[in-house]
């Protein structure tokens, strides 16, 4: 028996492929985050731009953030967006905390990158909240959906 | 005689049994040094082709397999080889290991076995899916498994060392990769390996071993159609770790239920997760939760099969959703070890493994991995995914209902 041709359409397995590719991409970033010392803002921004951005662009059109998704696949589709936005929020979160506790003065090295990290963190957090709200308001409310969304 | 001397003596015995004629100039003529190879073929020493296993890089280089526009419209005939080529473009002067072996001394009975490094990697026969059963090894209460080739099996038992080193029969079917002693013995003595028994069959329903394992409740009694439907409607749509037509056929007893009590455990988990997803009947949800936990038995860990991997993964995720994240984390550890024990991390050629089986194995591996890494990041714990040594492809993006892969429901054990 031969392998069939892959479909360009959304299938039952599109989400797993996307989740798996996401984790394969970000595991090296996570390893840096989980090992002391914590990466610099500059390092994380570079990793974000060189790993996560290309990964996001590689998602097939049928499963992109803006794609029209059939109701039964909307949870798995939303979970992907929540996953990557949450991960980026985590990446940059220490810089927000640090910025709140120790307001940085002009002239401090890496200040611009730290501020960019804070902006990215806040942007991803806000986008994640909005995505969850959108999902919750526009789909059937299941217990599984609630487990992920709430 | 020390244990080490005993082991060496057994190894010598095995080698003598392996029909391997004495090479005229010793083994170095078969496996020359890297420097010798480089000089002979005018290639730099580090350009000599190595087995895929050795070449496989760390995870970041796996990622490009996925999603680029128009990429991978079909799985190549030898996915492993193709992906290795993608990661390691052919280099000038690169030398084929098989060519080198042919040019040097090649014992007639060995040549066909090791002419390709893949032959060390790919076992002689994967019809058993690497499922294994060691439950009879220690327990005197479990009757010895019925073995067809009694002479071979007796011998294999005698030389068992607990290190997968001297096990010609591959410790009853489990996956042992290219670095294992079993792989070497498989290559030099394929006849003995092929004649080895497959006691894992004994795990099928109705055998003596399965009757020794607990079957607390009839799946018919607890696993209702409604709960199974709920599982597939709400959970499976996000995490298709089961092949729905196959599971339903097993559930309806149209086809044989695999792996004895392990399938019963899996079926209860399907029902329990189905009850969780509906959330409509808390009493049934909690009763099934207790039931599932009581079904888990340490004896299961003396087996390795796909059904049990699926069940352990579902158990892990179910426990997390039932607010027992640390318990779920432990179960995932069992699942990942068992998955690698049956070789789910490896890609096999379609002449060894039918596409249907290979695709199911891919799905289980990657859904397990997604759960595993997701939980590890969530808990802020190290990611324990292998840094190398795996190359199983992502699940194909196909519709089961239009795919030929749907057909062999009866072939799925």
Considering the entire predicted model, what is its pTM?
0.70
Predicted local distance difference test score (pLDDT) of residue B210? 35
Six-digit token pair at B167?
Answer: 């096990």
Predicted local distance difference test score (pLDDT) of residue B173? 75
Closest-CA distance of chain B to residue A20, Å: 6
Can you give the pLDDT of all 150 residues of chain A as single tens digits? 678 888 999 999 999 999 999 999 999 999 999 999 999 999 999 999 999 999 999 999 999 999 999 999 999 999 999 999 999 999 999 999 888 887 766 666 778 999 999 999 999 999 999 999 999 888 888 888 888 877
The CB density around residue B84, as the number of other CB atoms within 10 Å, is 19
Peptide bond into A37 cis (omega under 30): yes
DSSP character string of B376-388: HHHHT----S-SS
Interface test with A, best of B63, B69, B87 (most A CBs within 10 A): B63
For the residues B352-366, what does the mean pLDDT come to? 93
**Separation between Cα atoms, residue A88 and residue A84, nearest integer Å:** 6
Predicted local distance difference test score (pLDDT) of residue B112? 36
Closest residue in B to A28 (Cα) is: B60
Predicted local distance difference test score (pLDDT) of residue B239? 96
Among the listed residues B58, B145, B17, B125, the one whose alpha carbon sits nearest the alpha carbon of residue B389: B58
The answer to whether A6 contacts B397, with C-beta atoms less than 8 Å apart, is yes
Q: Is B85's pLDDT higher than 90?
A: no
Top pLDDT among A2 and B399 is at B399
Closest-CA distance of chain A to residue B345, Å: 14
| A13, A19, A73 member nearest B363 (Cβ) | A13
| B276, B383, B400 member nearest A143 (Cβ) | B276
Predicted local distance difference test score (pLDDT) of residue A36? 92
> Across the strands, what pairs with A65?
none
B235 by Cβ neighbours in 10 Å (0-12 / 13-18 / 19+) ranks as buried
The answer to whether A24 contacts B408, with C-beta atoms less than 8 Å apart, is no
The answer to whether A27 contacts B383, with C-beta atoms less than 8 Å apart, is yes
The interface predicted TM-score (ipTM) is 0.95
Top pLDDT among B118 and B78 is at B118
B279-318: per-residue pLDDT in tens?
777 788 888 888 888 998 888 899 899 999 999 999 999 9
Q: Is B80's pLDDT higher than 50?
A: no
Give just the sign of the alpha carbon dihedral A39, A40, A43, A46. positive
User: What residues have CB less than 8 Å from B341, skipping those under 6 apart?
Assistant: B130, B132, B174, B175, B304
B147-163: per-residue pLDDT in tens?
334 444 444 444 556 56
Predicted local distance difference test score (pLDDT) of residue B22? 42
Q: Which chain A residues contact residue B62 at CB under 8 A?
A: 24
Closest residue in B to A144 (Cα) is: B277
Predicted local distance difference test score (pLDDT) of residue B225? 85
Closest-CA distance of chain B to residue A37, Å: 15
Q: Report, in this order, helix, strand and coil percent for chain A, each rounded to 5.
A: 70, 0, 30
Closest-CA distance of chain A to residue B394, Å: 6
B18-77: per-residue pLDDT in tens?
444 443 343 333 333 333 333 333 333 333 332 333 333 333 333 333 333 333 434 344
Q: 């001297």: which residue's tokens?
A: B166
Predicted local distance difference test score (pLDDT) of residue B77? 41
């Amino acid at each position: 028996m031969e392998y069939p041709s892959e479909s360009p359409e959304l299938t039952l397995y599109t989400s797993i492929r996307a989740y798996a590719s996401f984790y394969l991409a970000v595991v090296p970033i996570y390893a840096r985050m989980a090992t002391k010392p914590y990466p610099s803002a500059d390092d994380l921004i570079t990793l974000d731009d060189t790993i996560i951005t290309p990964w996001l662009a590689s998602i097939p059109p049928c499963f992109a953030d803006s794609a029209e998704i059939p109701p039964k696949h909307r949870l798995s589709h939303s979970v992907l967006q929540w996953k990557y936005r949450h991960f980026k929020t985590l990446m940059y979160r220490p810089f927000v905390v640090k910025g709140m506790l120790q307001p940085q003065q002009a002239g401090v090295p890496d200040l611009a990158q730290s501020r960019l990290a804070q902006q990215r963190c806040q942007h991803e957090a806000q986008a994640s909240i909005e995505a969850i709200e959108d999902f919750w308001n526009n789909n059937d409310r299941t217990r599984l959906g609630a487990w992920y969304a709430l | 005689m020390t244990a080490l001397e005993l082991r060496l003596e057994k190894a010598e015995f095995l080698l003598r049994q392996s029909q391997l004629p004495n090479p005229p100039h010793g083994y170095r003529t078969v496996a020359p040094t890297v420097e010798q190879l480089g000089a002979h073929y005018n290639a730099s020493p580090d350009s000599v082709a190595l087995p895929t296993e050795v070449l496989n890089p760390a995870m970041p280089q796996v990622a490009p397999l996925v999603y680029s526009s128009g990429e991978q419209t079909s799985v190549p005939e030898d996915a492993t080889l193709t992906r290795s080529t993608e990661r390691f473009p052919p280099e000038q002067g690169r030398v084929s290991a098989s060519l080198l072996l042919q040019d040097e001394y090649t014992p007639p009975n060995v040549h066909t076995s090791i002419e390709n490094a893949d032959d060390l990697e790919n076992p002689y026969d994967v019809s058993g899916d690497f499922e294994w059963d060691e439950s009879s090894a220690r327990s005197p209460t479990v009757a010895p498994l019925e073995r067809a080739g009694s002479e071979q099996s007796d011998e294999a038992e005698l030389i068992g060392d607990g290190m997968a080193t001297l096990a010609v029969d591959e410790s009853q079917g489990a996956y042992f990769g290219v670095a294992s002693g079993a792989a070497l013995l498989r290559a030099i003595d394929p006849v003995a390996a092929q004649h080895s028994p497959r006691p894992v069959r004994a795990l099928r329903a109705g055998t003596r071993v399965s009757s020794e394992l607990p079957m607390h409740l009839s799946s018919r009694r607890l696993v209702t159609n409604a709960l199974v439907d709920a599982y597939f409607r709400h959970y499976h749509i996000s995490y298709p770790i089961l092949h729905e037509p196959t599971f339903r056929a097993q559930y309806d007893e149209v086809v044989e239920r695999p792996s004895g009590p392990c399938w019963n455990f899996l079926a209860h988990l399907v029902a329990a997760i189905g009850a969780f997803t509906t959330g409509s009947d808390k009493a049934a949800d909690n009763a099934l939760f207790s039931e599932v936990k009581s079904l888990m038995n340490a004896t299961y860990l003396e087996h390795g099969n796909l059904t049990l991997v699926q069940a352990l993964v579902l158990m892990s995720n179910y426990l997390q959703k039932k607010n027992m994240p640390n318990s779920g984390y432990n179960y995932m550890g069992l699942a990942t070890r068992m998955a690698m024990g049956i070789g789910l991390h490896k890609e096999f050629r379609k002449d060894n493994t039918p596409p249907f089986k290979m695709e199911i194995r891919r799905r289980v591996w990657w859904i397990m991995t997604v759960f595993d890494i997701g939980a590890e990041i969530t808990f802020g714990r190290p990611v324990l995914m292998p840094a190398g040594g795996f190359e199983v492809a992502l699940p194909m993006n196909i519709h089961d209902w239009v795919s030929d892969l749907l057909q062999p429901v009866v072939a799925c054990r």
